[in-house]
Structure 1
């Protein structure tokens, strides 16, 4: 376990953050806002490009999109292109009782150098997004052109996802890994599954008695997990349209616990093999520790569990895309803990990442395309909060020895073994 006394600041924004999604190997979408109150704090999302100078990572803003009176409390994103140019991503964003779908396309903004006395922007920014700054050209030729990467945002369909009679509010949305389904949950306690991006209702599950706190699709898009303030965790079979299993465990301290977050995680990158992870907080006790559980996806029984190292209640959970790492965030003291998924051993603990509770965690892709942006670490997770800060935490790559030294070590062991056997007359 490696302790870091300080978090690495990736970037800052001018609005409270509630959701984060990676939309490319090096681009992250950050969402939030100040809500409908007239506080002057804008609502919307901002896209940053993550890069590194070999020592630290930094995030550079490339696109900003405003969502009017709606703050974005929950968001999910999936690519709809297969290595095609331009990159295109669908984003589902929670807008109070509605879910709004956006299409985000990667493009390039064209600038004529100022020396020509002209400036042309090829392809307008998304509605509500301010223009990106123009860089000065180093070429004084009138024909010199500069291009800046931007994302063009287009609002598409929206659908009402919650029908609570008092004050309807959708708390969470998720797009399936195969990009064919959207799941939603909110204050009315119903889990709804929609075709995507058409937004026709496919299923509505009414088993939960209270508001939904989190949902997630399995990597193969065949199962859906939901947790609620009724203290139940349920696994749904999407194809059959019914309950598949229910999570259950008995705390050793005789206290009551409530599930806070739930996530599926594949095993060694195999989408057909996966585990379920949950974080649970004690009810009515400020001294009891929170739990991180790892569940078997065949029997849906607990395989492994650990108590929060911080001794504090937990607010955020994330699993890396290859299933090798799990991260949690705390409700206070801004603590991020990263675990090895196979045995839940703590790999890294960072305190004071944020000045208040952590609202979201998002792992960068572990692919080779993402490796330069994350500094060639084994994994990197981004943490967000309402304190306007965005931090990044790394799991350093395991040290290895060269093939020459490995062969030399093996030869030395064999020589030593042969000499010892000869000395003993064996």
Structure 2
């Protein structure tokens, strides 16, 4: 019950928190079959939230067992379809890992019933553009289900790639792509270790096809510069927020592959150019988007900025308190980068839920239900304000670029053009 109550709130929050989500090829999930979704894990728990609110069917997840240490937390998490999985490094030893036997049994039974179970086969979360070695827990569950239910027609493992344009910031973009399902029956014969290894190898290959991978961490900064250039060249529509489009993912994968395959000398030269360009942008007080879209403002844009200013500020003022509290908790209470974005999202949604419950209480006690309607409208202005201030920031950025001396503008454009061939 709690899962279905929380889901619409999380869905609304997801639509607001991200500028764009590319959610492609969900139809590759076999219908009315036993399915495991194998997904990479770049953030603490943002991926399961997005998947739960966007998938058409209910989703069950395996999560770290130490989150269930307190009874009340365990009850809440189970009500949200979360299943504990214990790792040696998260427990006091083998006693905690023994609890996994009941977890495996729950997974076997759930898969037999046709439930979708999501697993993070990397076994840990790292905010990076890489796929870590897959752990054998997935094999244990997949093969164990077929062993427990030999008459089960098949069990499918669907590889899923989740890619954040910025895994630390709100109002970024997410690219999620579902790969072709793998038939576990194709690999399972006797449950031998070699069969499990073959399944993991095939799965790793399939997952990698849907993930933007920069093989060497030393190339991360270069990759981000080139990917940013490409993103700023796009002319994507703001709405709908959810789009079943995979073209952006393939563009970013192509850029990452090009970086991975560059000869060392050429790559080092490119890094020098990219670094020099970033330093020049910083010195000029502008960002790359100003160069990508530096046309002069039209009458329509100026009217939008003038007429939208007051509503945007009213919306921002109304949302200020819960938004700032969430920002504070994210900045001061969360240390690991991988958890900043999901904690920020979760706390934001919780704060706004409490905020609106207070407005509901005020309206109820006063008997003036118009108060609640006004609060909802002001929240809508807050959402409008997100787009307004993003647009204003870009407009201001372009204006700063246009005020630069002509020679400095030309030099920046020349530096940018020297990098563009590597993004095409």
TM over 0.5: no
Q: Greater share of strand residues, 1 or 2?
A: 1
Which TM-score bucket, shorter chain as reference? under 0.3
Q: Greater share of helix residues, 1 or 2?
A: 2
TM-score where L is the length of structure 2: 0.24
